[in-house]
Chain A
Amino acid sequence: MITGYFNYWVVIILMMMGFYIVISDSNLIKKIIGLNIFQTSVFILFISMSKVKGGTAPILIAGADVYSNPLPHVLILTAIVVGVSTSALGLAIIAKIHRAYGTVDETIIHEQDDLQDEN
């Protein structure tokens, strides 16, 4: 059971770890790291399902007639690009937040906003 679905167990563990970091951590940069782990677990999910038992890499070579499915790899290439852009944009916004608030900690930012509301 565990060995048969090894990749999928890894996916679930990574996914939950990433998700937990996003929800629980108040440091904005760590949240982005959590988001990356979360997204990476989905990449592994896609790559794992494309494996065909006994298949080689999907390149035409003599002597091979079973190939792994290349389509999920292509999809994930796109998803990786999306993920990189998301992280880059997230970090850019954090840089601007740091300039405006002088911190990257969510609780301090909320305190500053509340303070501003009272004045």
Chain B
Amino acid sequence: MLAHLPALQVVIPLISAPACVLVTRANWAWLLATAVSIISFVIALLLVHEVSEHGVLSYHLGGWRPPLGIEYRIDHLSAYLLTIVAATASITMIAARESIKQEIPPEKASLFFSAYLLCLTGLLGIIASGDAFNIFVFLEISSLSSYVLIAMGRDRRALTAAYQYLIMGTIGATFILIGVGLLYMLTGTLNIQDLQQRIPAIVDSRTLHAAFAFLTAGISLKIALFPLHLWLPNAYAHAPSMITVFLSATATKVSVYVLLRFFFDLFPQEISLQQFHLGKILLPLSIIAILTASFVAIFQENIKRMLAYSSVAQIGYMTLAIGLGSADGTIAGMVYLFNHAIIKGGLFLAMACVLLRIGSVQLEDFAGLGRRMPWTMAAVVLLGLGLIGIPFTAGFVSKWYVLSAAIEQGHWLAAIVVVGGSLLTVLYIWKIIEHAYFKTPVSATRQSQVILEAPRQMLLPLWLLVAGSFYFGLDTSFSLGFASTAVQALFH
């Protein structure tokens, strides 16, 4: 049983997806999706344990030995990401019931949960797989299901957002397919470990350069790296609240993982960094992403959209850290990824609470919300502090490591941008706090004074994330410790 964990991690949600369609009752479908998410989380934790005890796990699908067969390969990096994705999935699903009851018509609920499970399958599959083409297929499974999920938003703009994402996402995925095809053409293999052995010998080939370029463009689109981020703000702003929570904490993070897997593992990192100058592409784009996206976020009136732009900026921090090209930088990027999943997941979850009770996430409707939804808004403040990077929060830890990695590399511009980005974050988080606590609603009717706290089933997961954002600010043994082992393995 334990030996089959890498496959079960992917197969259980995959099988549950069609099963979920057969369950027509909305509540039962929710229960199934929640149970599967929690099982995935347990499996991910078991894999973390196995990997730290016995090292890399290699699972041969169908008993075919790699490089001919498809290999599922769980190393420290995969186990780390599997934990993040499965934990987010569990927390999202536990909190999801009320919000989805309100936003999704009951007759469509089972289809909705089925699409969610497929999305989870795809994300877990990308991480577990050790085969380049297999990664493409899982990428498409997760993308196609997330287009469906986004299109199920209440506003008609959800449809155009989903369509835009579909077009850009498909172009990105097809670019990755071209890259993988060119690599296969050169080496005759698709197994990542096997490719890693063969690439140093053909480093001067122009086809390899083309493959690298296609992969960079394709993966950057999936990450939503500036200037390829245009699909993200609309998709996050108009998707059903819970899907925004889920995707913001997983989809772009998994794409960052794909970046690492392809350019620091499949292509040996010294080749990516020194011969293909990956850092020179990532650093300037990340710096622009941090500054422009944070700046644009300040002027957003829709808070979900504001947080979506903030995500584009935060992704910039991660790619900046990775682009620094040192082991310390990459570790910082991984810690950032972990902490940001908690903080941004939490903030979007708080927005789901607000949308459930107030029916709007426009800034002007936040007036007086500090009194009406005290627990939700307190969580927003605490998570906001984490997003800014106040000491004792997880956000501080991640920003600190990015900053010290930038200074260590002598990259002063990057260091200044890291700090400057935090200042811009203060501005837009302050806008939310100002409206929630220091403004009175325009129409001070009695109805707008009633306390309307979100249901406990949503508040508990929300405060779990708040607690996480402080816990991982003090105890970094998992977030930092595990990430360092993962990255050391890539840098040998």
Spell out A's residues near B (CB within 8 Å): 19, 22, 28, 31, 35, 38-39, 42, 45-46, 49, 71-72, 75, 78-79, 82, 85-86, 89-90, 93-94, 96-97, 100-101, 109, 113
Contacts and interface: CB of A to CB of B under 8 A. Distances in A.
Contacts of A39: 170, 174
A72 to B, nearest CB: 7
Interface string B447-460: 00000000000000
A75 B163 CA distance: 26
A41 B248 CA distance: 32
Nearest to B234: A113
B199 interface: no
Which interface residue of B136, B140, B156, B170 has the most chain A CB atoms within 10 A?
Answer: B170
A45 B174 CA distance: 12
Contact of B144 (A19, A78, A89): A89
Nearest to B141: A82
Given A38-B174, A39-B174, A46-B181, A93 B133 contact: no
Given A45-B178, A89-B148, A28 B157 contact: no
A96 B137 CA distance: 26
Given A35-B171, A49-B181, A89-B148, 16 more contacts: A38-B171, A39-B174, A42-B177, A71-B184, A75-B181, A75-B184, A79-B136, A86-B144, A89-B144, A89-B166, A90-B163, A93-B151, A93-B162, A97-B156, A101-B156, A113-B157
Interface string B170-187: 110110011001001100
B238 to A, nearest CB: 11
A97 B160 contact: yes
Given A45-B181, A46-B181, A94 B163 contact: yes
B281 interface: no
A42 B147 contact: no
- The size class of the interface chain B forms with chain A is 20 to 34
Contacts of B77: none
Given A45-B181, A78-B137, A86-B166, A97 B174 contact: no
A75 B133 contact: yes
Given A93-B159, A96-B159, A113-B157, A86 B170 contact: yes
A90 B165 CA distance: 10
Contacts of A100: 156, 159
List the 6 closest A-B pairs by CB distance, nearest first: A100-B156, A82-B140, A49-B185, A97-B159, A93-B163, A46-B181
DSSP majority for the A interface?
helix
18 contacts: A22-B167, A28-B163, A31-B167, A35-B167, A38-B174, A42-B174, A42-B177, A42-B178, A45-B181, A49-B181, A82-B137, A85-B140, A85-B144, A86-B144, A86-B166, A93-B151, A96-B159, A113-B157
Contacts of A82: 137, 140, 144, 173
DSSP majority for the B interface?
helix
A89 B167 CA distance: 11
A14 B2 CA distance: 48
A108 B83 CA distance: 44
Given A42-B181, A45-B178, A93 B167 contact: no
Contacts of A85: 140, 144
Contact of B151 (A38, A75, A96, A101): A96
Nearest to A106: B160
Contacts of A38: 171, 174
A100 B238 CA distance: 15
Contacts of B162: 93
A19 B217 CA distance: 14
Which interface residue of B136, B137, B163 has the most chain A CB atoms within 10 A?
Answer: B163
B129 to A, nearest CB: 13
A55 to B, nearest CB: 15
Contact of A35 (B151, B170, B181): B170
Nearest to A79: B177
Contact of A109 (B160, B173, B185): B160
A89 B171 contact: no
A97 B133 contact: no
Contacts of A93: 147, 151, 159, 162-163, 166
A67 B148 CA distance: 41
Given A75-B133, A79-B177, A97 B170 contact: no
A113 B144 contact: no
Interface string B125-168: 00000000100110010001001100100001101101100110
A85 B133 CA distance: 18
A90 B166 contact: yes
B21 to A, nearest CB: 16
Contacts of A109: 160
Contacts of A96: 151, 159
A72 B182 CA distance: 11
Which interface residue of A72, A75, A82, A96 has the most chain B CB atoms within 10 A?
Answer: A82
A75 B437 CA distance: 57
A113 B160 contact: yes
A101 B137 CA distance: 33
Which interface residue of A22, A93, A97, A109 has the most chain B CB atoms within 10 A?
Answer: A93
Contacts of A75: 133, 181, 184
A31 B185 CA distance: 30
A109 B167 CA distance: 16
A66 to B, nearest CB: 16
Nearest to B189: A71
Which interface residue of A89, A90, A101 has the most chain B CB atoms within 10 A?
Answer: A89
B171 A22 contact: yes
